[in-house]
A and B are shown apart, each in its own frame.
Chain A
Amino acid sequence: MDLILTLGLDALNFALAIVLVAMGLVIIFGLMNVINMAHGELFLLGAYTLVVVQQAGGGFWLGLILAPIVVGLVGLVLEELIIRHVYRRFLDTILATWGISIAIKQAVILGFGPASYTVDAPLQFGVDFLGTTYPAYRLFIMGVAVLVILLTLFVFFRTRFGLAARGVIANRSMAACLGINTRRLDRATFAFGAALAGLAGAVMAPQMSVDPQMGLGFLIPAFLAILTGGGGLTGTLLGASLVGGIDSTFAKLWSPVLAQVVVFAMAIVVIRLFPNGLLGGRGRR
Chain B
Amino acid sequence: MMLSLDEVESGYGSSLVLKGVTLNVAAGQVTALLGRNGMGKSTLMKTIMGLLPVKRGVIGFDGAPINGLRPDQISNRGIAFVPQGREIFMEFTVEENLLLGTLGKPNAGWIPDLVFTHFPILHERRKQIAGTMSGGQQQQLAIGRALAGQPKMLLLDEPSEGIQPSIVEQIAQTLRAIAEKEKLTILLVEQNVEMVLDMASTCAFIENGRIVATHGSEALRADERLIHRYLGL
Query: At the interface, yes or no: B67 with Cβ under 8 Å from chain A?
Result: no
Query: Across the interface, do B109 and A170 meet the contact criterion of CB distance under 8 Å?
Result: no
A-B contact pairs, 15 of them (CB 8 A): A160-B108, A163-B96, A163-B100, A164-B100, A167-B89, A167-B92, A173-B51, A173-B71, A177-B49, A178-B100, A178-B103, A178-B145, A178-B149, A179-B75, A183-B70
Interface string of A142-181 (1 = CB under 8 A from B): 0000000000000000001001101100110111111111
Interface string of B70-86 (1 = CB under 8 A from A): 11100110001101000
User: Which B residue's beta carbon lies closest to that of A174?
Assistant: B87
Query: At the interface, yes or no: B91 with Cβ under 8 Å from chain A?
Result: yes
Point out the residue from B81, B91, B103, B149 that lies within 8 Å of A164, measured CB to CB. B103
Query: At the interface, yes or no: B176 with Cβ under 8 Å from chain A?
Result: no
Chain A residues whose C-beta falls within 8 Å of the C-beta of B99 in the assembled complex:
160, 163
- A interface: dominant SS: helix
Q: How many residues of chain B get a CB closer than 8 Å to chain A's CBs?
A: 26
CB distance from B159 to the nearest CB of A (A): 16
Chain A residues whose C-beta falls within 8 Å of the C-beta of B145 in the assembled complex:
178
Query: At the interface, yes or no: B36 with Cβ under 8 Å from chain A?
Result: no
Point out the residue from B72, B91, B92 that lies within 8 Å of A176, measured CB to CB. B72
Query: At the interface, yes or no: B104 with Cβ under 8 Å from chain A?
Result: yes
| A181 in contact with B100 given A160-B109, A170-B91 (CB within 8 Å) | no
User: Which A residue's beta carbon lies closest to that of B151?
Assistant: A179
Point out the residue from B87, B96, B108 that lies within 8 Å of A171, measured CB to CB. B87
Chain A residues whose C-beta falls within 8 Å of the C-beta of B92 in the assembled complex:
166-167, 170
Query: At the interface, yes or no: A182 with Cβ under 8 Å from chain B?
Result: yes
Chain B residues whose C-beta falls within 8 Å of the C-beta of A166 in the assembled complex:
92
| A177 in contact with B83 given A163-B100, A163-B103, A164-B100 (CB within 8 Å) | yes
Query: Across the interface, do A180 and B89 meet the contact criterion of CB distance under 8 Å?
Result: no
Query: At the interface, yes or no: B105 with Cβ under 8 Å from chain A?
Result: yes
Point out the residue from A164, A171, A177, A182 that lies within 8 Å of B51, measured CB to CB. A177
B139-164 interface with A by 8 A CB criterion: 145, 149
| A171 in contact with B91 given A176-B72, A180-B103 (CB within 8 Å) | no
Query: Across the interface, do A176 and B71 meet the contact criterion of CB distance under 8 Å?
Result: yes
**A176 CA to B71 CA in the complex, in Å?**
6
Query: At the interface, yes or no: B101 with Cβ under 8 Å from chain A?
Result: yes
Chain A residues whose C-beta falls within 8 Å of the C-beta of B70 in the assembled complex:
176, 181, 183
Query: Across the interface, do B72 and A180 meet the contact criterion of CB distance under 8 Å?
Result: yes
**A171 CA to B142 CA in the complex, in Å?**
14
Query: Across the interface, do A178 and B104 meet the contact criterion of CB distance under 8 Å?
Result: yes
Chain B residues whose C-beta falls within 8 Å of the C-beta of A181 in the assembled complex:
70, 72, 104
Chain A residues whose C-beta falls within 8 Å of the C-beta of B149 in the assembled complex:
178-179
**A170 CA to B93 CA in the complex, in Å?**
13
| A171 in contact with B89 given A160-B109, A177-B51 (CB within 8 Å) | yes
CB distance from A21 to the nearest CB of B (A): 27
User: Which A residue's beta carbon lies closest to that of B146?
Assistant: A178
**A163 CA to B145 CA in the complex, in Å?**
14
The 3 A-B residue pairs with the shortest CB-CB distance, nearest first, are A179-B104, A179-B75, A176-B71
**A176 CA to B70 CA in the complex, in Å?**
8
User: Which A residue's beta carbon lies closest to that of B79?
Assistant: A177
Of the candidates B49, B100, B109, the one having the most CB atoms from chain A within 10 angstroms of its own CB is: B100
CB distance from B108 to the nearest CB of A (A): 6
Chain A residues whose C-beta falls within 8 Å of the C-beta of B101 in the assembled complex:
178-179
**A250 CA to B105 CA in the complex, in Å?**
54
Query: Across the interface, do A177 and B100 meet the contact criterion of CB distance under 8 Å?
Result: no
Query: At the interface, yes or no: A187 with Cβ under 8 Å from chain B?
Result: no
Query: Across the interface, do A177 and B108 meet the contact criterion of CB distance under 8 Å?
Result: no
CB distance from B68 to the nearest CB of A (A): 15
CB distance from A4 to the nearest CB of B (A): 40
Interface string of B46-69 (1 = CB under 8 A from A): 000101000000000000000000
**A175 CA to B101 CA in the complex, in Å?**
8
Point out the residue from B49, B51, B87, B100 that lies within 8 Å of A180, measured CB to CB. B100
**A174 CA to B80 CA in the complex, in Å?**
11
Query: Across the interface, do B103 and A179 meet the contact criterion of CB distance under 8 Å?
Result: yes
Chain B residues whose C-beta falls within 8 Å of the C-beta of A173 in the assembled complex:
51, 71
User: Which B residue's beta carbon lies closest to that of A167?
Assistant: B100
Chain A residues whose C-beta falls within 8 Å of the C-beta of B81 in the assembled complex:
177
What 15 new A-B contacts, CB under 8 Å, besides A167-B89, A170-B89? A166-B92, A167-B92, A167-B103, A170-B91, A173-B71, A175-B100, A176-B72, A177-B72, A178-B149, A179-B76, A180-B103, A181-B70, A181-B104, A182-B72, A183-B70
